[in-house]
A and B are shown apart, each in its own frame.
Chain A
């Protein structure tokens, strides 16, 4: 077996680069999902409060009208 033929150092560096790349892609993906995402019925507690506020007139839609 020719031990000198195995380039350990470049392989190690390449593995580290790949690991870093994978971790960075994962980090950015998580950040993207934290900023922009969908929600489901688990958030019905928020929806119930908002519905109540809008129905009672406590919260009103924004209307922008141009001056005549």
Chain B
């Protein structure tokens, strides 16, 4: 497999990450996201897993460009947003689609979503999160309100964790008895 890259600069188009209202309906092939991988390299094992598997994102969604920032670029970016230091490697996904329907202020402010893998120390756990992330994008890429889908996903996972906790608690109490 040969990795190459082509320049956006030569096309002469203005590159904007701001969402805009689209007249055409969304299809599975509609370009919708711009994906950026920010990694300063402090979390070695998780970085290794992420860099190995990020081309999969391109294979599943070739219509959405994937940009991999160098270590120096990642440091420059995190200098402008120091609150994210320690959360990288992170995948930042800008959503350039905006629904035509009237939205609340909070939803109208939505610009995209991100996965902060630097918080996870275990590479296997990071890989699982990456798989879930890829699946989430594949399933919901035609959703009109993606921020609603993120909320739903978090709620669903939260319920799953509650069930898991209850099960563990009941197992522990059985062991005590």
* A interface residue numbers (CB < 8 A to B): 17, 21, 24-25, 28-29, 31-41, 43-47, 49-51, 53-67
Q: Chain B's nearest CB lies how many Å from the CB of A37?
A: 7
Q: A21-B169, A28-B158 are in contact. List 8 more A-B contacts (CB 8 A).
A: A25-B165, A35-B119, A36-B116, A39-B111, A45-B81, A59-B67, A61-B65, A63-B58
1/0 per residue, CB under 8 A from A, across B55-89: the answer is 10011000001111100010011001100000100
Is A36 a contact partner of B150 (Cβ separation < 8 A)? Answer: yes
* Distance from A65 Cβ to chain B, minimum over Cβ atoms (Å): 5
Interface residues on B, range: 35 or more
Q: How far is the CA of A55 from the CA of B10 in the complex (A)?
A: 9
Question: Is the CB of B92 closer than 8 A to any CB of chain A?
Answer: yes
Q: Which chain B residues lie closer than 8 Å to A67 at the CB level? A: 1-2
Interface residue? B117 (CB, 8 A): yes
Please state if B110 and A36 are interface contacts (CB–CB under 8 Å): no
Closest to B36 in A: A50
Contact of B113 with A by CB under 8 A:
yes
Please tell me if the beta carbons of A46 and B92 are within 8 angstroms of each other in the complex: yes
Q: How far is the CA of A37 from the CA of B153 in the complex (A)?
A: 10
In the complex, the answer to whether A46 meets B81 with C-beta atoms within 8 Å is: yes
CB atoms of A36 and B112 under 8 A apart: no
Contacts of B8 in A (CB 8 A): 54-55, 57, 60-61
Closest 6 CB pairs of A and B: A57-B9, A61-B65, A40-B109, A60-B5, A57-B7, A47-B17
Residues of the B chain whose Cβ atoms lie less than 8 Å from the Cβ of A39: 92, 110-114
Residue contact B16 to A28, C-beta cutoff 8 Å: no
Q: Does B99 contact A (CB under 8 A)?
A: no
Scan residues 1-50 of chain B and give those whose CB is less than 8 A from a CB of chain A. 1-10, 14-18, 36
- Tell me the nearest residue of chain B to A65, going by C-beta: B2
Closest to B38 in A: A46
Provide the bound-state CA to CA distance between A27 and B8, in Å: 43
User: Is A25 touching B113 in the complex (CB atoms < 8 A)?
Assistant: no
Task: Check B3 against A64 for contact (C-beta < 8 Å).
Answer: yes
B110: chain A residues within 8 A (beta carbon):
38-40
When distances are taken between beta carbons in the complex, the residues of chain A under 8 Å from B116 are: 34-37
Asked if residues B55 and A51 are in contact (CB atoms below 8 Å), the reply is no
Q: How far is the CA of A10 from the CA of B138 in the complex (A)?
A: 49
